[in-house]
Structure formats: C-alpha cells, structure tokens
Structure 1
C-alpha cells in the first residue's frame, strides 16, 4: 500500500540578493508524518515555509498540499492547513478565549466547545480569561498552536514551535504534537511539518528528518534509520554537514 503524499515540494528555489534563501529543494511528506526540518538559523527554513504557505513567491518550483498547487489553487491548498510562521500572532488586548473566537469566525464548524477543547489540549485553559500581552513567549506559542489546530486541520506547519518554551513546555508541546499525529481524525492522522534548530527536540519529536544547510537539502531519512547508524541526531547532523564540505 503506497503512502499518501500530503505535501509535495518540487525544485523549490527562492534566492535573495544576499545569496541566502533556498536552492532547488524537493521533498515529499506523507500522511501522519511528524517531519522535522532541521538546520541552523539562516539555513533557509523560514523561507521554505513562507513559500510553502504562499506568503512569498518562489523564483521557481512548485508546492502542492493535499494535491492542490499553492500557486494555482491557494485557497483549496490551504483550506485544511494550520500554521505558525515566525511568530504566533495574537491580539494583545483580547483574552486567550476571545483571540480564538476571532480565529473561529473563519470556520463555521468551530464552536465554543471546540475553543475550550484546544485550550485544554495546549494547557491554556486556566489562562483563558487572561490577555496575551501578559503572556510569556512559551504561553504565546501554546496559544498560537491552539489557533493552528482549531479547525482540526489535516496538515500543521510550525516554524520553530519549541522556541521560548521551558523544559516543561517543550515536553507538553512534544506530547501534544505526537498525540495529534497518532490520533485518527475523519480523514486520517494529522501531518506535521516542523522546522527547528534544536537537534535534541527534533530527535524526540519527529519520525522523519530533512537536514537543510545553506539553502540546500543534504539528506532526508527516518529518525529510526538515522539512530541505527549514529549515537545521536547531533552526530548525524555534523556528519552530513561535514560531508557536504562546508564546515
């Protein structure tokens, strides 16, 4: 049985005048994957995710999500996608609950019960009457994740979701992501595409990993395969980067 491709990225290129960006990236992400896009800051992770979600246009190449082209059928491609790129945005003077109520306007099927549910899932229920301007970065990240999963999306794209979280928050976020990826929804399991420079967390969170360095994909493999050959993901990462002869 062939696995269902949920995100297809082909020959994606977006280069800036300073030489940074992404160069000829191709990737397939399958249903139920928790895919870790691993690379140092400035490697091109955010650029790739902005192109994937239609925030910037590529110089060339294509992205399809759930079979729809981002360039040609943007609304259909993004209809079942939840994402946080760069920072989790919120209205600072509305409560956590009111923030999610604002997001819910786009989704007729999301009611107050679902809002309470995602606040509970992300550990934010006890802060539902509080305003994000008083929140720590980690709490803002949790609220952002609550917004991203509000409509029960099939695909969740998260740029550095573990940034700013304390150890407890990281464990909670990791368990939440794994739990959602393993739970069958009406259409199957939620698929995650997560970027991070935190090697240890990617190792513990993701079942497949793509290493990006200087805008290029060095390798894509399953975490299980990598850990058969290397003691840690960090050893693998260093080895991949050294093989590409750039350190």
Structure 2
C-alpha cells in the first residue's frame, strides 16, 4: 500500500501544557482516516502542523513524500483542507467564491465549479452570498473549495459541524465516493464518535495529546459493540479516566 501521509515523532506543547506529544502515523492511499478525540485533545494542533499553520517543536510530516518543513509547496501541492472553520468571501456569491479559489489551480474551469457545487448540494444556491448562508451551507461551501482541484489528499477538521442529518449523510457519501472511485485519501478529525464510525476506514484515538491506538474500523467493530465502547475501553486501559 502506498503511504500518502507520514507523521513521525510529532510534538508541539504550548505554554499551558496542552498540545501533542510524539505522534506517529502512516496513512495510505484511499484511506479515510478518522482522528478521534474529545475537544482539547490536540487534533487541531496536529492538523495545523500538517498544513503549515503551526511549526512543531520536533518531528515532521511528509505528504506524498514531501516534508512540510523542508518542501512545503510540493507537500501541499495536491492537498485540499479545512482547518477549524470554513472561510469564504461573504460578499461574493458561492460560485464567485469558488471562481476566486480556482485561480490558484490549473485545469479548474466553470464546469468543474458547477460540478462541485452540485456534488455538495449547493448548485441551486450558486448565485447567493454566503453571508446569508446557514452554518451547514457555509460548511458545504468550504468542502466544495477543498475538493475543487481534485486533490489527492483532503484534510478536514470537524467537517460535519453545523450540518443537519441529511447534510451529514450527503457529506459522508461524498467522502466515501471520492475515496472509492478516485482513491482520494482523507484525514478527518472529529469528536463525534458515531460519525467517525459511519465514515472512516481507519481510526486513531488521541487523548490528552497522545495517540492511544490506531486500528481499522472493521477490526474495531469485530471486537466491540461500537466505536464508543472501543474508545471508552482504550481510555480506561490507558489509565486516562
């Protein structure tokens, strides 16, 4: 299996003592990896490092063989992402927002923009401005921007935030479809255990800044009633609660 994301000995500790310590992960092509942990576990810190927004204290991340520290442009060249919140230009329409983003990529034309808007359920709102959008619609627009360039790797921080049940199902199906048909690799953080269980092929548990375990969702559910049971068991086994 081709390794797409390599995280080696990654650490970042803030003055308040929070952060991440010695994280090691290998994510393979076509995986939907779920980075699971409670709020404050360090998920966003790790993802900020992965996307060059924060410098680590030690360790490195390689994406498609390129170090984010030594070769950032190549590392991020085929990556789409949302970190923390899905940002947009509030006074441009949904279509105009994606048109603006398309300027950063080759081979993204108006047809591709409409295709992505249709995929995320926003095509009928393409001429509306996101300042009038609900949180869920803003999240859909952010995901549209993240997949616009047909990236090989998509990094999503809490992608189902603000979505109703129908929206969650739609986005889950988009993620699964892209992973299966285009072998897009997804790295998704969430504190929503049920959504990770339904979406991800692999799960890594992060607690108090440390990785407790990494396994396939299939293997976990062969041994536990649910991902929630697995999470509680791993946390208790590691003496965290």
Quick one: which of 100, 105, 128 aligns to 1:130? Answer: 128
Q: Which residue of 2 aligns with 1:18?
A: 16
Q: Which residue of 2 aligns with 1:234?
A: 228
Q: Distance in 2 between matches of 1:244 and 1:19?
A: 19
Q: Distance in 1 between matches of 2:105 and 2:172?
A: 26
Q: Distance in 1 between matches of 2:181 and 2:240?
A: 40
Q: Which runs of 5+ in 1 are unaligned?
A: none
Q: Distance in 1 between matches of 2:48 and 2:225?
A: 33
After TM superposition, the structure 1 = structure 2 runs for residues 1-247 of structure 1, keeping only pairs within 5 Å, are 3-184=1-182, 189-247=183-241
Shift of 1:244: 1.1
Q: Distance in 1 between matches of 2:151 and 2:52?
A: 17
Q: Distance in 1 between matches of 2:18 and 2:48?
A: 14
| Residue-pair matches, total | 241
Q: Distance in 2 between matches of 1:197 and 1:47?
A: 14
| Coordinate RMSD, CA, aligned | 0.5
Q: Distance in 2 between matches of 1:240 and 1:127?
A: 44
Task: With the length of structure 1 as denominator, give the TM-score of the two structures.
Answer: 0.97
SS in 1 for 2:6: strand
Q: Distance in 2 between matches of 1:59 and 1:207?
A: 30
Shift of 1:108: 2.5
Q: Distance in 1 between matches of 2:7 and 2:78?
A: 17
Task: With the length of structure 2 as denominator, give the TM-score of the two structures.
Answer: 0.99
